[in-house]
Amino acid sequence: QVQLVQSGAEVKKPGASVKVSCKASGYTFSNYYMHWVRQAPGQGLQWMGVISPSGGSTSYAQKFQGRVTVTRDTSTNTVYMELSSLRSDDTAVYYCARSPGSYGWFDPWGQGTLVTVSS
């Protein structure tokens, strides 16, 4: 079955960077885009960016431009999201989610990765 398995929880200090992975299985990796969405504690969902698994082109939400980088490794069917210059308000659960396109609905989602930013 289609599965997205994310890396484990992280604790980072302000100013540091974090890199979260999302390993896909159960489908043809190059046929679907991968998005990243975050959810701060008790808050709603916020789209961060997307990558094309075949060509590797990316698009990011304006809010995260310059701080987020999404990459992929087609040899391991893994997508990565790196967020730099972390602040306390970056504390959130980060999800990867598969989509049929750069614009599309998300299904399935990874299990989520909690990133805590604290001094």
Give contact residues for another protein (rule: CB under 8 A): 35, 37, 44-47, 50, 59, 61-62, 95, 99, 102-112
Nearer to another protein, 42 or 119 (CB): 42
Q: How far is the CB of 89 from another protein (least distance, A)?
A: 17
15 versus 63: smaller Cβ distance to another protein: 63
* Residue 44 neighbours by CB under 8 Å, 6+ apart: none
Q: 3 vs 17, which CB is nearer to another protein?
A: 3
CB 33 within 8 A of CB 102: yes
Six-digit token pair at 46?
């916020």
Q: How far is the CB of 119 from another protein (least distance, A)?
A: 26
Q: What residue type is 44 in one-letter code?
A: G
Minimal distance in Å, beta carbon 72 to another protein?
Answer: 18
Edge-to-edge strand order for the sheet containing 46-51? 10-12, 113-117, 92-99, 33-39, 46-51, 58-60
